[in-house]
Structure 1
Amino acid sequence: MDVTFLESDTFFPSPASNSTLQGELRDEEQNWWGSEELHVEDNPAHMNDGNDMIEPDVQTFVGVDMYPRAEPVSLANAESEDESPHSSVPDPNDPPSENIPEVSSPTTPLHTNAMDTSTGYVLPFRHNRGKPPNRYSPDIEERRSKYPIANYVSTQRLSEPLKAFAHTLSSCNIPSSVEEALSDPKWAQAIKEELEALQKNKTWALVVLPEGKKTVGCKWIFSIKYKADGSIDRCKARLVAKGYTQTYGIDYHETFSPVAKLNTVRVLLSLAANLDWPLHQLDVKNAFLHGDLEEEVYMDIPPGYTASSKAKIACKLQRALYGLKQSPRAWFGRFSSAMRKYGFQQSNSDHTLFLKHRLGKVTALIVYVDDMIITGDDAEEISRLQEQLSTEFEMKNLGGLKYFLGIEVARSRQGIFLSQRKYVLDLLSEVGLLECKPADTPIVPNHKLGEYTDQVPADKERYQRLVGKLIYLSHTRPDIAYAVSVVSQFMHCPSEDHMDAVIRILRYLKSSPGKGLMFSKNNHLNVDGYTDADWAGNISDRKSTSGYFTFVGGNLVTWRSKKQKVVALSSAEAEFRGMAKGLCELLWLRRLLAEIGFAPSSEMNLFCDNKAAIDISHNPVQHDRTKHVEVDRHFIKHNLEEKIIRFPFVKSEDQLADILTKAVSTRNFYDSLDKLGIRDIYAPT
């Protein structure tokens, strides 16, 4: 039937009406009443003038109420009214009636006063009326993540000592300010011990600051030292000077001091894995305090140190202190003199490596500021060296190598494993990407990163800080070497696209935080290399990118991905320049191994996938297309004639260095990682 909507008539019934019908049903009811009136024409009360609608008498149809309305009935009254059609038989198990609250029956109308129209229209009763459950709330801390970090890193496959060590690293918090440290008893004790050591060593003298002199600031740095079993050895507080406020020619003169190459550390680890050498770790307490200071330097009063005087009191430094520009040079000079006194020779390949040959055996010590690693096959000399160093300096024997420069070291019968798991987790936590969606590769294939005039600038300081941390992380993660090399080219003017590329590297790290290098026992010490180049791959200046991997004893020890400085005119030229760079690295490894006592007995292999570059190396024909690479040609030609190097051809699908020059597919990327010896012992089972 048709329904007529009028402005003066509502579709829903009002509370004042006796009808509970709505819409079409109400119209049907009115028509039904009208049809009944046709049979009662004798009643004059139902007659009209023909112009108005028939108004039925409610009293006439009181017996035919199709939708009776129930009166309010309480549960207490329902038990006493047996004649009520809504009464129910009481259950003997029900509680007494006086304990039952008086509530309305489900058939109770919402408004008992039918004439009250001030409250408006109310929907009929609904059995599930109520507040819906709060299915989402941003305030809930323990909400489930779609990509929890536990799905990508685990310690289930580790031995109990390594598992305890990993858990200890993850559960330690280092204070970020001196106020926070002083509120913790163990860190306050560490500050007290450092100040006592400085006073005992007569590092400074409290004096009145002379006129015209400026002071150097200072701050506290906190770290945690671990034992060989992974337990915490001690909380360490170190006072460092703010050397960046020093003036050249007044506060310092010479500053150069060699720092250990991590490439050398990896070579020693490969030798230790193949030859079953022990690895001992030593730490020098307050190493820089052993260096003598020649310049006149004044420093501010350290935070937490009180001096009772109203005058301008300063610390006149009498010995070198951490943070001063000349301190590393002073300390290393003192340490080198002591090692030469013990009969050790300083390596020409790495000046921080000290070697001693005795009775056909070798002992090696490498130092990185105040952290030392001792290895070799002469157990007697290693023990004697530890005693001599303890006599000369205040040393701390940390036992077997476990944690070195933020690198976690795990050793088993399978070999030696290096990773920076904690470093990655801390970095992801700092950026807020612990629960992000992981990426399969560190950089998208066929990327178009470059410098454009319409690019949106990004936060330069944040960009540089993140890229700097990724550069240090690449010392154990060659899988991100190419991606980090690309993003590091835009440090001077980063854009949002460049920042997105950095975030993608972090998302890739989320997929495998515990991935690292495995040094296995391969029972040989052969030296091999892979070199490759991507011709004119940079879209900004069309320069090529070259890269190489080198292996010692079957283990990956060095790698590099770098954009070439000149534009190559052909792919052969780009590959030829890449071969020259890879050859330089192999020659350095050959010289280092010869000093240790394991010079390669045969030619070193440098694999290349470009036949034109190999032909130019073996057949040095001078013409217009090779004249501009003449220096590299003579360099390669000399080493070929001396039987030092050879260039075997390798297929492009077997070229391991391909991932250092371009963004490859996901399948090729992971195939190369397996061949490089990159593993993840922290992967969940």
Structure 2
Amino acid sequence: MANPMPLQISRPTISSSHEQEAVLVLELNQSVPTDTHGALSSNQQSIQPQRITTRSQSGIHKCNPKYALHVDIDHSLVEPTCYSQAFKQHEWRNAMVQEFNALQRCGTWKLVPYHPQMNLLPNKWVFKLKQRADGSIERYKARLVANGFHQKPGIDYTESFSPVVKHSTIRLVLSLAVSKQCPIRQLDVQNAFLHGFLNEDVYMRQPAGFVDEQYPNYVCKLQWSIYGLKQAHRAWFHRFSEFLLQLGFEASTCDYSLFVYNHKVQYMNDQMHLSQAKYALDLLKHTNFLDAKPISTLVPCGQKLSAYDGEPHDSPDLYRSVVGALQYLTITRPDLSYAVNQVCQFMHSPTTTHWTVVKRILRYVKATYNHGLLYKPGLSHITAFSDADYAGNPDTRHSTRGFCIYFSSNLVSWSSKKHKTVSRSSFEAEYRQLAYTAAELSWLKSLFRDLKLHLFVRPFGATISRPLP
């Protein structure tokens, strides 16, 4: 008896129409063998099309429970990415109206006819939920931003540099305020960048949703600065600094963002706690480490990271993003400085071993997310500590330096970095680090002078402390 031929099964074809029947078809690659009488053999049965009845044909329209996933999303808590999305929600519409009215009150632009020689800048609406320290929503914020990357140097901007305050300056001023029993106030200038003067002719399209009905083809000639321009930061800084100088403030020569006004104040509070607890929790939530197991130590004792440890990380962008966020967290977390400095050295080519250390740092942050700096009043004196890890880098044999400087009992400045050159001995590494610390102390001394604080400072000296053998 001839061997039965193999069957070829075609893909099931299901019609989308309810009137047609869905049929599963089995096709033979050739005719089915028969016996000598022309009938089908005993092990070969006639194959009939099998009818499949769908749920919709049976009148069943209820979803299968295992596929019934429904998520309620509060769209008012989602930041829109464009004007068309924001226009559908009244909270964001009100925010855009408030921003546009503020621009009109400031006289930010005037409408002029378009000329082909103009370098016309596009713009877009940017939406942001402004939250309080506890995470609750303070207000819905809409901002009209010019696309400054279309600007051309020498045509609609010249210089764009603007100074930024140093973190050490902020911590020192806060420590002084606590020690000298001075009140502390935090101010927010609404629409700050809209108050800067412009010395160039800058033209921009009319914003989406607010095109003038009488002059729809006109463009905006900016008379004041606006967010997104390359010179916006510089224009605002010049306007604000001139205002403070007119009030009698004096600009610091050590930090251009510090202005001092001598005035007697009364005692307000006796201590201050600086932390980034909400930022730390947001970072843990973003990296899915909010439910991770916390640990009490950052880096295992004696661990030295090398560029050749582990396999290349499959997502280097994620590595750079998380490490960059950890860098910002070190503003109030000196305990993270050394570990974050170590993982920052492999941004160009992270490996799985480096990522393991980053995850360990995140677990440590989970255990200590509410840690920070506690400033208390005390005696006005400065104490500095420095140290160096001789040839600690296993790849280049560079040393790692670190220092911390206290004003009274308050930590105001610290650093953990790799030496730029290779030291030939542990003494040379310590000596180089002592020079870096002395430079920071000299800068702080000048800053005290700008603050009109006269502290008795003895000539710089160092006392070597080492553990007993």
Shared fold, TM over 0.5:
yes
For residues 20-61 of structure 1, the C-alpha deviation after alignment (integer angstroms, 9 at most, x for no partner) is: xxxxxxxxxxxxxxxxxxxxxxxxxxxxxxxxxxxxxxxxxx
Does residue 124 of structure 2 align to residue 218 of structure 1? yes
Out of 132, 145, 161, which is 1:240 matched to?
A: 145
For residues 532-560 of structure 1, the C-alpha deviation after alignment (integer angstroms, 9 at most, x for no partner) is: 00011111211111010000121000100
1:175-574 matches, within 5 Å, as: 175-178=79-82, 181-207=86-112, 209-211=114-116, 213-224=119-130, 234-308=139-213, 314-356=219-261, 362-363=262-263, 377-378=264-265, 413=270, 415-452=271-308, 455-522=311-378, 524-574=379-429
What's the CA shift for 1:583?
0.7
User: Matches of 2:314 and 2:206 in 1, distance apart?
Assistant: 39
What's the CA shift for 1:314?
4.2
The structure-2 alpha-carbon separation of the partners of 1:247 and 1:486, relative to structure 1 and needing over 3 Å to count, comes to farther
The structure-2 alpha-carbon separation of the partners of 1:235 and 1:219, relative to structure 1 and needing over 3 Å to count, comes to closer
User: Matches of 1:489 and 1:309 in 2, distance apart?
Assistant: 58
User: Matches of 1:244 and 1:440 in 2, distance apart?
Assistant: 45
Match of 2:465 in 1: 650
Does residue 394 of structure 2 align to residue 579 of structure 1? no
For residues 258-280 of structure 1, the C-alpha deviation after alignment (integer angstroms, 9 at most, x for no partner) is: 11222111111111111211001
The structure-2 alpha-carbon separation of the partners of 1:458 and 1:579, relative to structure 1 and needing over 3 Å to count, comes to farther
Residues matched between the structures, number = 396
Contact 1:190/1:236, CA 8 A, preserved across alignment: yes
Q: Structure 1 stretch 532-541 or stretch 302-311: which is displaced more? A: 302-311
For residues 296-343 of structure 1, the C-alpha deviation after alignment (integer angstroms, 9 at most, x for no partner) is: 333344344345589766433221112211111111111222222222
- State the one-letter code of the partner of 1:647: A
Match of 1:359 in 2: none
Contact 1:218/1:299, CA 8 A, preserved across alignment: no
Match of 2:31 in 1: none
| Structure 1 residues not aligned, in runs of 5+ | 1-136, 142-171, 357-361, 364-376, 380-410, 604-642, 654-685
The structure-2 alpha-carbon separation of the partners of 1:453 and 1:596, relative to structure 1 and needing over 3 Å to count, comes to closer
Contact 1:590/1:599, CA 8 A, preserved across alignment: no
The structure-2 alpha-carbon separation of the partners of 1:650 and 1:470, relative to structure 1 and needing over 3 Å to count, comes to same
User: Matches of 1:290 and 1:197 in 2, distance apart?
Assistant: 11
| Structure 2 residues not aligned, in runs of 5+ | 1-65, 71-75
Contact 1:530/1:548, CA 8 A, preserved across alignment: yes
User: Matches of 2:94 and 2:329 in 1, distance apart?
Assistant: 32
User: Matches of 1:416 and 1:454 in 2, distance apart?
Assistant: 43
User: Matches of 2:289 and 2:295 in 1, distance apart?
Assistant: 12
User: Matches of 1:560 and 1:232 in 2, distance apart?
Assistant: 35
* Structure that is richer in helix per residue: 1
**Alignment TM-score, normalising by the size of structure 2:** 0.76
| 2:386 partner SS | strand
The structure-2 alpha-carbon separation of the partners of 1:173 and 1:278, relative to structure 1 and needing over 3 Å to count, comes to farther
C-alpha root-mean-square deviation of aligned residues, in Å? 3.1
What's the CA shift for 1:184?
4.3
Find the structure with the greater CA-based Rg: 1
Contact 1:271/1:553, CA 8 A, preserved across alignment: no
Match of 2:6 in 1: none
What's the CA shift for 1:508?
1.2
**Alignment TM-score, normalising by the size of structure 1:** 0.53
What's the CA shift for 1:173?
5.0
| 1:517 partner SS | strand
- State the one-letter code of the partner of 1:325: K
| 2:359 partner SS | helix
The structure-2 alpha-carbon separation of the partners of 1:330 and 1:652, relative to structure 1 and needing over 3 Å to count, comes to farther
| 1:432 partner SS | coil
For residues 112-163 of structure 1, the C-alpha deviation after alignment (integer angstroms, 9 at most, x for no partner) is: xxxxxxxxxxxxxxxxxxxxxxxxx9x999xxxxxxxxxxxxxxxxxxxxxx
The structure-2 alpha-carbon separation of the partners of 1:194 and 1:447, relative to structure 1 and needing over 3 Å to count, comes to same
User: Matches of 1:264 and 1:311 in 2, distance apart?
Assistant: 49
Contact 1:530/1:549, CA 8 A, preserved across alignment: yes
Contact 2:123/2:144, CA 8 A, preserved across alignment: no
Identity %: 40
What's the CA shift for 1:188?
2.8
User: Matches of 1:470 and 1:650 in 2, distance apart?
Assistant: 31
| 1:651 partner SS | coil
What's the CA shift for 1:251?
3.2
Contact 1:591/1:599, CA 8 A, preserved across alignment: no
Contact 2:123/2:147, CA 8 A, preserved across alignment: yes
The structure-2 alpha-carbon separation of the partners of 1:338 and 1:310, relative to structure 1 and needing over 3 Å to count, comes to closer
User: Matches of 1:530 and 1:317 in 2, distance apart?
Assistant: 52
For residues 359-389 of structure 1, the C-alpha deviation after alignment (integer angstroms, 9 at most, x for no partner) is: xxx24xxxxxxxxxxxxx347xxxxxxxxxx
